[in-house]
Structure 1
Amino acid sequence: MRHAGEAGGGTASLPHETAPEAARAAIRAGRHSGSTAGMAPGFVQGNLAILPRALAGDFLRFALRNPKSCPIIGMSEPGSPHVPALGAGIDLRTDLPRYRVWRNGECIAEPAEIREFWRDDLVAFVIGCSFSFEEALIEDGIPLRHIACGSNVAMYRTSIACAPAGPFAGPMVVSMRPLRPADAIRAIQITSRFPAVHGAPVHIGMPAMIGIADLARPDYGDPVEIRADELPVFWACGVTPQAVIAAARPDFAITHYPGSMLITDIRNSKLAAL
């Protein structure tokens, strides 16, 4: 069994040309334990939320009411750790670098696999991730500092309220990328083509207007430098369910660790709307 603590917070370096199945095999074997940003370019990555079957219907309604934050790209059958449509060899219990286990809204563990926590009543939701549209930004010549620095993207809880469903309600979480104004305009055009992975930004500049007091202190991920000629650009983020789970306090849930995503066999081009 892998343990998150064995990695010491670091990560083994994997070549960026890694194919999805090879990347998942390396993760499963414990050879990669950090952020999946930049891994398996060309292929969709996903956030993960796993809940008991009794809550799955409410969470599905929550996701449908909040498609910017929670665009669902896959869903398991109750008790199954597989989503065949995303990749025949995927095992949701082992194929992410790190997870979070929740009880009554509190994170109680951050393991590197979740086989010991798996239950027959669990339903898994795979949610689109902004790592997918980052490839399109990079291909267009737009630099992304967290990738250049080898760090996780900065993520923040906001004052933007999600539309509630059943017990699920709470704040939208956003990811932030500093961009020059011309690049920010182009980024809006590019990411609008990818509604299944959060689509266009929800806010640009003036972070205090969405309840962010200090960009140097993200709630998740790593801080990045914002230069004098740049604007902070904010996208809805698939970490939103974690903020909602903390607020709703279900008796049990599992999510991905922020930045540690599921790498699928689906090509990013399949999610482009145009």
Structure 2
Amino acid sequence: MDVADLTPAQARERFRAGERVPTAGWCRGWTQANLIAVPKSLRYELLLFAHHNPQACPVLDVGEPGAWSTALFAGDLRTDLPGYRLYRDGEVVADLDDVVAEWRDDLVPFLIGCSFTFERALLAAGVPVRHLELGTNVPMYRTNVPCQATPSLAGPLVVSMRPVPEELVDTAVEVSGRYPMVHGAPVHVGDPAAIGIRDLARPDFGDPVEVRAGEVPLFWACGVTPQAAVMASGVEYAIGHLPGHMAIMDIRDDDLLAI
């Protein structure tokens, strides 16, 4: 079966069984989300950080301390994503297939909107999506744009990039802007150096894609931003998704359309 035709439950079953792959293009019509789980001592701080930086950190759902499912994710957050990243004292210490052994009773899981969710709408509007064409992960970059900090959390804005034909830039901006809960419209259009990106061929996360003649790089706020804050702030323990390897939720992408 084409992975685009899978239900969220079918996709989660495959990930639980060991399939390890970026999730762009999976489960057409269903919402994808970033995972960040932090100790409960930081849960209100992370909510405040998300409130201060809503385009990068649109919160879709939050679980109870120790919980591994939420109201909008019926699977197991410890096993049902295709990849995880473990942090101690702000450092990446492991990329893991599951985090059953690492999940602590005090961890609070947050599910943050992901721009993969609006890619179906981009395609329907005639906007090409290069990483889908190539079957690769989306490129993601740390910028020199600081997020609005809280007392314990600070860090740079992370962005994802998609090259768009110049004549379709306005369409891409308008279409993605209908989905504010999965990052909405781009935060930057054009020159990557203006936001501190020196080399598009060397993303901080994901895979590089070519920007061809007549195309403009568009940059969307990215839900890896909380993981960048975990690293920059030296958070003592956290679990995130492996960038590009998302939680596939039990809500439709159309449920997130702005009215």
User: TM-score band (shorter)?
Assistant: over 0.9
Cα distance, 1:15 vs structure 2: 2.8
Task: State the partner residue of 1:182.
Answer: 167
Moved over 4 A (4+): none
Give the gaps of 5 or more residues in structure 2: none
Using structure 1 for the length normalisation, give the TM-score.
0.93
Task: State the partner residue of 2:63.
Answer: 76
Q: Identify the match of residue 36 of structure 2 among 42, 49, 54.
A: 49
Q: Identify the match of residue 35 of structure 1 among 17, 22, 25.
A: 22
Q: Identify the match of residue 202 of structure 2 among 195, 207, 217.
A: 217
Cα distance in structure 2, aligned partners of 1:138 and 1:166? 41
Cα distance, 1:167 vs structure 2: 1.1
Letter in 2 for 1:199: G
**Change over 3 Å in CA distance of 1:253–1:14 after alignment to 2:** farther
Cα distance, 1:181 vs structure 2: 1.5
Cα distance, 1:14 vs structure 2: 5.4
1:83-116 deviation per Cα after TM superposition (whole angstroms, max 9, x unaligned) = 02x13x3111111000000000111111111010
> In 1, are the aligned partners of 2:3 and 2:25 still within 8 Å (CA)?
no
Alignment of 1:79-158 (within 5 A): 79-84=66-71, 86-87=72-73, 89-158=74-143
Task: State the partner residue of 1:3.
Answer: none
Task: State the partner residue of 1:25.
Answer: 13
Cα distance in structure 2, aligned partners of 1:245 and 1:186? 34
Give the gaps of 5 or more residues in structure 1: 1-12
1:107-160 deviation per Cα after TM superposition (whole angstroms, max 9, x unaligned) = 111111101001111100000000001111011111101001000000000011
Cα distance in structure 2, aligned partners of 1:97 and 1:15? 13
Using structure 2 for the length normalisation, give the TM-score.
0.98
Q: Identity rate of aligned residues, in percent?
A: 50
Cα distance in structure 2, aligned partners of 1:141 and 1:24? 29
Secondary structure in structure 2 of the residue aligned to 1:269: helix
Cα distance in structure 1, aligned partners of 2:115 and 2:223? 8
